Structure 1
Amino acid sequence: MRWIVWMAASAAVMVSACSKPDAKADATAPAGPRVVAANDIEAGRYLVLVGGCNDCHTEGFPQSGGSIPEAQRLTGRSVGYQGPWGVSYASNLRLLAANMTEDGWVEIMKTKKLLPPMPSHNLAKVSDPDLRAMYRYIHSLGAAGQPEPENLPPGVAPKTAVENMVPVPPAA
């Protein structure tokens, strides 16, 4: 008798192990890839670093070889980027995150057409969990710095230094 009970229990375990996973469990898994870290702030720190966010959104970051202290990062940049679109300035992401909800952050990053050199087309493909991690990291740094200068339309002379984003053909 014990043998029959043991066989029935074993068969039940095997059937459940081989059956299709519960659709409810599938629905909770995030769609697409995402960064896994000890917590969302660490994931966000990593994404901001490898995404090159500091290169434009931190004054002097590329020139310093990335040695700007974290407390001074992501406060925008006074040097503009000039091209056919006019002049654009890298946002102070710390003020932006401090004055916006997490859902608002995800919405803007997914849908807003941002001016060059911001790669909106790439940013729109970042998973929602990763965008939330980036927001949580930047928000954790706290508000700091000044707002960036206003973007300028084509033909308006900037009052700041600019990087010319128009390719220069080689000399003949």
Structure 2
Amino acid sequence: MIRKQVLLSIAAAGILLALVDCHSHPTPTDASASSSPPPAYGGYASQAAWGKHLVAIAGCSDCHTPKKMTAMGPMPDTTMYLAGHPGAVPPPQINRQEIEQKGLMVTNDLSVWVGPWGISYAANLTPDETGLGGWSESQFITAIRQGKWKGLANSRPLLPPMSFVAAGMNQGFSDEELKAIFAYLKTIPPVHNLVPAPVAPLAAH
């Protein structure tokens, strides 16, 4: 009886080792799955759809879409989606000297920023000629990667807040993600809106 129990135990151990050995070697299905490329476009149906998602999570609309003041506070003006600061709206009436020396000021729609660098305006990101209409994909990537105005290598640096936003995007986004963002921006309705040029700080006058 004891001999039978020993034989059964040895047989059970052999079966267990065989099962472990089988699972330690990937099947052809496992191997093909592990070597398959990641889903195209981040799992979205198209490059532009992926870009739309990235634009949303990056908060691009927070500054680049003007706001309308409502009883519940500022709300995005959907007719100006990503069109930047309205060109017809003058700069805010403020004490620039004090602000530029002591800190910064942001308008309630986040489209105008004032600080030691002067006055900067949220840019038009729509595919209109006053926005990104004439931009190439490589220019867009250069603007983010190198922090350059209009994506031109020899141009001035981007001004706040886009200077530090671009720095964050540079660290957090791959080239493929930046290409997807640009592809999406090329699909949104163009809005003709010539954003004012930035204004130099008073100390530079």
C-alpha distance in structure 2 between counterparts of 1:35 and 1:73, whole Å: 24
Cα-to-partner distance string for 1:31-74 (whole Å, 9 max, x where unaligned): xxx8431111111111111111111001107811x5x43x5301
Alignment of 1:4-153 (within 5 A): 35-60=42-67, 63-64=74-75, 66=76, 68-69=77-78, 72-78=80-86, 79-94=111-126, 95=128, 96-112=131-147, 113-118=157-162, 119-125=165-171, 126-153=173-200
Query: TM-score scaled by structure 1?
Result: 0.64
Provide runs of 4+ in structure 1 moved above 4 Å.
14-17
Say if 1:81 and 1:89, in contact at 8 Å, map to a contact too: yes
Report the CA distance shift for 1:84/1:36 in structure 2 as closer, same or farther (over 3 A): farther
C-alpha distance in structure 2 between counterparts of 1:93 and 1:124, whole Å: 18
Say if 1:86 and 1:153, in contact at 8 Å, map to a contact too: yes
Query: TM-score scaled by structure 2?
Result: 0.55
Say if 2:64 and 2:81, in contact at 8 Å, map to a contact too: yes
Cα-to-partner distance string for 1:73-122 (whole Å, 9 max, x where unaligned): 01001452001111111100114321111122112111124211121211
Aligned residues: 134
Q: Give 3-state SS (helix, strand or coil) of 1:153's partner.
A: coil
C-alpha distance in structure 1 between counterparts of 2:26 and 2:48, whole Å: 41
Report the CA distance shift for 1:15/1:89 in structure 2 as closer, same or farther (over 3 A): closer
Cα displacement (A) at 1:142: 4.1
C-alpha distance in structure 2 between counterparts of 1:41 and 1:15, whole Å: 36
Percent identity among equivalent residues? 27
Cα displacement (A) at 1:146: 1.0
Say if 1:98 and 1:142, in contact at 8 Å, map to a contact too: no
Q: Give 3-state SS (helix, strand or coil) of 1:98's partner.
A: coil
Please provide the CA RMSD for this pair: 3.1
